[in-house]
């Protein structure tokens, strides 16, 4: 029996919802309106942030896309949008702190920004970055080295979603050994992306490889998935109880 078939044949649900308040901070989201594929309006942003407060979060680090061929967001664009969201949060009386970094797409422009030390970070100089979903970039290890030698701490967004490594699990182990922190998406545990993504996410949790948990929230549907699905996954309970997550330190 294959690894995936073993996983899919087992119940992964529990009757007790997980308590996300232990995280304190979410580290991956798209709440600044109108600058990427996340919130389109301030009303949408505030509605989502109100839900996060109700889930027990005290803080979010929102991370708009930065991609040279799609979302050419600069620190000025992102921080200006952040200021507007903060004003709206205060006006609505929502007790939630919000900061901003970015989700950088690994491309040539990103590597230039590393060298220029022009990256938005969170925590202790952490940088969230993502890869193409089709093939791993040849420049991956070089970019990681550049980040580290320039004082950044690389955080790979949703590694469980990169299908090109699903049958080469050692690649995940190599990244962790090189000091790359791995950020899991909560909704990967619901099967939202695919059964294979769910299985790989659970294997990574079993091997204590996950350092940060993020919502990757783009819209209200992602919050519904968290409340109606992810909170009841045994693997989420295990991860929250692992003592491995860094969210609460940010």
* 100-150 pLDDT tens trace: 999 999 999 999 999 999 999 999 999 999 999 999 899 999 999 999 999
- With respect to residue 171, please indicate whether it lies within any of the assigned structural domains: yes
The answer to whether the CB of 3 falls within 8 A of the CB of 200 is no
Domain membership flag for residue 183: yes
The mean pLDDT values, 10 residues at a time, for the chain of 250 residues are 45 89 98 98 98 98 96 97 98 98 96 96 98 94 97 98 96 97 98 97 97 98 96 97 97
DSSP 102-126: -EEE-SHHHHHHHHHT----BTTTE
Residue 12: per-residue pLDDT = 80
Round to whole Å and give the CA distance between 40 and 234. 33
* CA–CA dist 34, 186 (Å, integer): 24
Tell me whether residue 166 is in a domain: yes
Tokens of 114: 């590393």
Residues of the domain holding 127 = 12-249
Taking the CB of residue 87, how many other CB atoms lie within 10 A of it?
11
Do residues 162 and 193 make contact, with C-beta atoms less than 8 angstroms apart?
no
Separation CA 28–CA 126 (nearest Å): 12
What pLDDT is attached to residue 9?
47
Q: Is residue 143 part of a domain?
A: yes
* pTM of the complete model: 0.94
In this prediction, residue 10 carries a pLDDT of: 61
4 located within any domain: no
146: left (phi over 0), alpha (psi -120 to 50) or beta: alpha
- Domains of the chain: total: 1
CA 120, chain centre distance (Å): 15
In a domain, 7, yes or no: no
CATH code for position 124: 3.20.20.140
- Report pLDDT digits (tens) over 241-250: 999 999 999 9
Question: Is 32 within 8 Å of 39 (Cβ atoms)?
Answer: yes
């Amino acid at each position: 029996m294959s690894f995936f078939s073993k996983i899919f044949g087992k119940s992964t649900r529990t009757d007790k919802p997980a308590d996300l308040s232990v995280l304190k901070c979410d580290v991956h989201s798209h709440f600044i309106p109108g600058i990427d594929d996340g919130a389109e309006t301030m009303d949408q942003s505030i509605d989502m942030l109100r839900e996060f407060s109700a889930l027990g979060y005290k803080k979010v680090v929102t991370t708009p896309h930065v991609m040279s061929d799609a979302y050419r967001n600069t620190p000025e664009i992102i921080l200006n949008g952040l200021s507007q969201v903060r004003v709206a949060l205060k006006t609505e009386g929502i007790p939630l702190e919000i900061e901003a970094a970015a989700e950088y797409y690994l491309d040539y422009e990103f590597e230039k920004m590393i060298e220029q030390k022009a990256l938005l970070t969170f925590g202790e100089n952490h940088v969230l970055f993502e890869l193409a979903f089709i093939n791993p970039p040849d420049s991956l290890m070089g970019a990681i080295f550049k980040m580290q030698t320039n004082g950044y701490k690389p955080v790979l967004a949703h590694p469980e979603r990169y299908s090109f490594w699903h049958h080469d699990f050692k690649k995940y182990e190599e990244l962790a050994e090189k000091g790359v922190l791995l950020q899991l998406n909560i909704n990967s545990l619901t099967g939202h992306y695919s059964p294979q993504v769910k299985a790989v996410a659970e294997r990574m949790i079993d091997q204590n490889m996950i350092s940060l948990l993020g919502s990757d929230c783009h819209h209200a549907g992602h919050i519904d998935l968290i409340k109606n699905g992810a909170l009841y996954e045994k693997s989420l309970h295990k991860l929250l109880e692992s003592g491995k997550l860094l969210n609460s330190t940010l």
